[in-house]
Amino acid sequence: MPERWADVLDRLAQIAGAEGAILLAADMQNLRWLSSQTLAKVMEDFASGGWAGVGTRTQRLLQAQHAGFILEEDVFSAQELADDALIRDFLRPRGLGWATATALPLPTGDTLIFSIERRYADGPVPRAATEILDSFRPHLARAALLSARLKLERVRAAVEALELIDLPAAILTHKATVQTVNGSFAQLIPSLVRDRRDRVTLADPAADALLAQALSSGPARESRSIPIPSDGRHPAMVAHLIPMRGLARDIFAGSASIMVMMPVLPGRVPGPELLEGLFDLTAAEARIARGIAGGATLAVLAAAQGVSVETIRSQLKATFAKTGVTRQVDLARLISGLNLKR
């Protein structure tokens, strides 16, 4: 029950005589956390100040591989404690600096960390408190596991719902790897989509370059549309990368975005509204794309819209960038659902 985790964190903090407790994913590149209300401002400062990559507390905890709560003295020497930048420059200036923590792996691929933060003036967490906390650890592990499984079932239900309307869909993790797919998407692997260990890739090099660019800054924060030419076996498609905003900081789901593959089938030239949605075009760019697909020249388009040919060229350049093509003929073929010839 997600709404009860804050109470659990407060109870853990009380056992340790601490200021508060934090539950966060060990993936420091994609910060997701829950915390006691007393530490909410600290965590906001931690995230906004770029402190996630500072210090070695998380690395030391994970390297210890200890099936219980551990103290700083278990993984740091006295001198290392004094020199650790996160403890020295972030925690102690905020009145903190002592903690006990434990790590729990989840089936989603994430590792969760329970970190109980004690005020520096109160001294280290007593080892007797860690023994009490260890008695709760199996229950915390089971509850976290159940939460993760329930979240995973929710995202699986989302992609299966798209299966009902014949849309291939997959859920991507915060590390841009495939978490789960529906049956239609599975049929595109590996001919169109590659489920690799480092990140999901597209078989078409140009399309994959656009995907890599979309994923380069971490989980998708805005919807992106990536055109994929026909490979002879599959029709031309548009891969829509859509952020799962409701799960943006959900530490249990491990889900960041949904990838939906939309076939572009032969037929009449789509209307401008559909082109806007398929390729993230502006209204003007959609009119240009539709005109090019219909065989209009730049001069004709300029005259029809009452603008200069240079304005049309500028809009066409932006359209090229969004659709991943570099020539008018390729744009016309893409919009018409024809096979692209490189």
At 220 the three-state DSSP class reads coil
In the CATH scheme, what architecture does the domain 267-342 have? Orthogonal Bundle (1.10)
Enter the tokens of residue 93: 């200036």
Residue 89's pLDDT is 94
Residue 249: what pLDDT? 47
The confidence score (pLDDT) of residue 340 equals: 38
Domain limits, the chain = 2-147, 165-263, 267-342
Superfamily of domain 165-263: PAS domain (3.30.450.20)
What SS3 state is found at 241?
strand
Q: Compute mean pLDDT per 10 residues along the chain, 342 residues long, and list them.
A: 83 95 81 88 91 87 91 90 92 94 81 93 95 93 79 74 82 82 90 89 91 72 79 82 61 72 67 74 87 86 89 91 83 64 38
Structure tokens given for 334 = 């893409």
pLDDT of residue 55: 84
Contact 155, 253 (CB under 8 A): yes
pLDDT of residue 101: 95
Exposed e or buried b for every residue in 180-205, given b needs 16+ CB within 10 A?
A: bbbebbeebbeebbeeeeebbbbbbe
Give me the pLDDT at residue 322, please: 84
Task: Tell me the CATH number for domain 2-147.
Answer: 3.30.450.80
To which residue do tokens 């408190």 refer? 129
2-147 and 267-342 share one fold = no
